[in-house]
Each structure stands twice: as structure tokens, then as C-alpha cells.
Copies of this chain bind each other. A is one copy, B any other.
Amino acid sequence: MNNNKFQFKVLAHDSKTKARTGRLFTPHGTIDTPVFMPVGTNATVKTMTPEELHNLGAEIILSNAYHLYLRPGAQTIAELGGLHKFMNWFRPILTDSGGYQVFSLSDFCKLSPEGILFQSHLNGGKKHFLAPEDVIKIQQDLGVDILMCLDECLPYPSDYERTAASIGLSLDWAGRCRDVHKQDGSALFGIIQGATYKDLREKCARQLVKMEFNGYAVGGLCVGEDREIMYDIVSHTVDFIPEDKPRYTMGLGTPRDLFKCVSLGIDMFDCVIPTRHARNGSLFTKSGRVIIKNARYAKDAAPIDSKCRCYTCTHYSRAYLRHLFVNGEILASRLNTIHNLHFYLDLMRQIRHSIAQNEFINLWKKFESDYNFRG
């Protein structure tokens, strides 16, 4: 751990939307925002080496405290020198607290004011108890740059009373997380919940802001609600986050989601879409998605996207990528992941550049006009 302390600076504003560029300073380096964080759940961004990620322009990745706590154990990773050394990635890492994973992956999970009792989704199904304090310790054992508070993730839909009570619990946990977070230069982010209830989102945001976190996430999005409602909630919630703090929509999203949320003032994103879609053979281009297993590509000598400069597009035809995919070859997952991550990371580079040039709206309009959303 070096002596660089977490900071955030806003660098430029778009004049027609709330979009902005900024810079995050972390113990393991700086990050230009808006930023997309590739997901490396198990201490690996699936199929990729860290050098490949860096060459694609990734500046920060997301990993998962829940998965690493269960296997191989945060203490083991700490003894091996921390998560950065363990996975050979020496740039910034953000870890999700695991709250979402406990709810979505566990066979059994029971909340109390003290914390969460849950059964592991892995072989054996052993029971574990995690208090908010434990979750901070796990993330500090991992030695990550940005930690997330433990919170309750509600199913969708949840009624008003249930949501209000849940916020009370999450706010209590957030305070306990903040109290035990060691000031070692790392950042701790609060997570704003409140489902689709605007007054609860406001209440949660205001309370968290009072606790003074290093950044604020909007959680509980993309859980089944309509896209327009989601955008409306993000737009509403952002107004209660201080201008000088980074804002992060967890788990988003599609290329369209990125544009929309950037326009609402969001700085940080993570999503499994580019990597998971890649492994399923669904490849992003500016004109929409290419489903590589389609028979029409069997003899297609063209690359996925003739304008793309990624390693995959500059070396391989659609015909070869289809051949690898239908044969279940691992190289298919690799080459497709390189392409999709390049698409996402390059899109974010273009978005940052357009904001700095005050041309964001034009880039967004061009994207919407070129992209075939049926794909």
C-alpha cells in the first residue's frame, strides 16, 4: 500500500446534460471518469490476463468480497500479499461487499440487526455469519482501493413499508461500516437504496451523505423495473449526492444505459454484460450486436466490425470466430471477450473525450442513430 489517498476531482462539465469528466486518485493509481469497470468476480476477469486488460485500457476492475471470502478466503489472500499481488493486477480494484451475492446466490439467508446468516452456494453449503464490520475487514484484508458497505438488497417488487424498514437497517449497517473502516488511503462508498420510492431514495441519500462517505452508489437498480423508471430513479437520486463525490450505478449496463446514466451525472459503472455476452457469442458493434453462431457468418471473411481496431478484429474473420464458437473452443471466449471489452472501454474513452469537448450530446445522438436495438 503506498501513501496515495483516495480523492476525486471533477474536471469538466457538459453544458447540455449533467455529464462530467473527473479523476479518481487511489492507492494503486488514477482513473479517468466516467469509467467502466470490467467484472472479475473470482479474482479474474474471465478469460483475460491483467496485461491484456491493461492493453485494452482498463484502469480499474471490480471483484467480489463474497466470492473471495468463501474461496479462497480473504485471510489466505492477505497472507499471500493481498488481492493485487494474488491476481497480478497492480491497478485499482473495487470490491462489491457481497450483499447482493448473498441474496442472489445463497440457498438460505436470514437477516438480523446484527448481520447476515447465510448458507454458501458452494459445495457443502456451510453456514456463515457476516456482520457489517466483518465485510469491511474482508475488503481491507484483500487490500482493495474502493470498498462498498454491506446493505440489504430487496427483491423486486417490494412494498413501501418493507423498503422503508430495509433502508433503516442498511443505514445502520452503513454507519457501522464507516466506523470500522481504517483510514489507510482506501475509499469506502455508501449505497443508496429505496427501490422505486423517490422519497425513500432521498431519505437514504441524505442520511448517507451526512455520514460522509468517499463516494456514493445507487444500488438496487436493474432488478426488474422498467428502464424508464430506472432512469427516473437515477436522475432523482443523483441530486442528493454532493457534486464533488463520485457517483456509481451498480451493475449497469447496456451501451444505452451508459450514455443515459452518464448524461444524468454518473461517474462509475460495472457490468457483466460485455464479458458474459462475449462468452455467449454476442458481440457488440456500433451498428448493433453480431450473434456469431449465426450460419450467415460461416464463410464471412470480414472481421466482427471492420472499423474496430481490437486484436480480434485486426487478426480474425467472423468465419474463424464462428468456427471456434461452434466447436466450443476456449479461444472463442478469449477473442470475443477482447472485442467486447474493447467496445465498452473504447466507448467510455469516446464519452470522456466528448464531454471534455462539450460534444457529448452529438456522440450520444450518433450512437442512438447507428445502433440497431433489435440485436
- Also in contact, A80 and B317, with CB within 8 A (given A298-B72, A323-B42, A326-B71): yes
Whole-angstrom CA separation of A323 from B79 in the bound complex: 14
**Does A329 belong to the interface (CB within 8 Å)?**
yes
**Does A11 belong to the interface (CB within 8 Å)?**
no
Whether the Cβ atoms of A44 and B324 lie closer than 8 Å is yes
- In-complex Cβ contact of A327 among B42, B48, B87 (8 A): B42
Q: Which of A49, A76, A316 has the most CB of B within 10 A?
A: A49
Q: Which of A150-158, A330-338, A357-365 contacts B (4 or more CB under 8 A)?
A: A330-338
In the complex, per-residue mask of A81-94: 1 if CB is within 8 Å of any chain B CB, else 0: 10000111000000
Q: Shortest CB–CB separation between residue A199 and chain B, in angstroms? A: 42
Q: Shortest CB–CB separation between residue A186 and chain B, in angstroms? A: 22
**Does A299 belong to the interface (CB within 8 Å)?**
yes
Whether the Cβ atoms of A334 and B323 lie closer than 8 Å is no
- In-complex Cβ contact of A301 among B80, B319, B324 (8 A): B80
**Does A47 belong to the interface (CB within 8 Å)?**
yes
Residues on B with C-beta less than 8 A from A49 are: 331, 334
- Also in contact, A44 and B331, with CB within 8 A (given A86-B319, A86-B320): yes
Whole-angstrom CA separation of A43 from B330 in the bound complex: 12
The size bracket of the interface on A is: 20 to 34
**Does A315 belong to the interface (CB within 8 Å)?**
yes
Residues on B with C-beta less than 8 A from A333 are: 330
In the complex, per-residue mask of A274-317: 1 if CB is within 8 Å of any chain B CB, else 0: 00000000000000000000000011010000000000000111
Task: Kindly report which residue of chain B lies nearest to residue A43, judged by CB atoms.
Answer: B323
**Does A137 belong to the interface (CB within 8 Å)?**
no
Whole-angstrom CA separation of A333 from B48 in the bound complex: 11
Q: How many copies does the complex hold?
A: 2
- In-complex Cβ contact of A329 among B46, B81, B331 (8 A): B46
Q: Shortest CB–CB separation between residue A76 and chain B, in angstroms? A: 6
- Also in contact, A44 and B329, with CB within 8 A (given A71-B323, A72-B323, A320-B87): yes
- In-complex Cβ contact of A330 among B315, B327, B330 (8 A): B330
Whether the Cβ atoms of A76 and B334 lie closer than 8 Å is no
Whole-angstrom CA separation of A326 from B324 in the bound complex: 25
Whole-angstrom CA separation of A329 from B71 in the bound complex: 13
Q: Shortest CB–CB separation between residue A346 and chain B, in angstroms? A: 20
Whole-angstrom CA separation of A329 from B87 in the bound complex: 13
List A121-179 residues whose CB lies under 8 Å from chain B. none
- Also in contact, A80 and B47, with CB within 8 A (given A329-B42, A330-B334): no
In the complex, per-residue mask of A43-58: 1 if CB is within 8 Å of any chain B CB, else 0: 1101111000000000
Q: A46-B329, A49-B334, A72-B298 are in contact. List 18 more A-B contacts (CB 8 A).
A: A42-B323, A42-B329, A44-B324, A46-B330, A47-B330, A48-B331, A49-B331, A71-B323, A71-B326, A76-B319, A79-B299, A80-B301, A80-B319, A86-B320, A88-B315, A88-B320, A330-B330, A330-B333
A-B contact pairs, 13 of them (CB 8 A): A42-B323, A42-B327, A43-B323, A44-B324, A46-B329, A47-B330, A72-B319, A76-B319, A79-B299, A330-B330, A330-B333, A330-B334, A334-B334
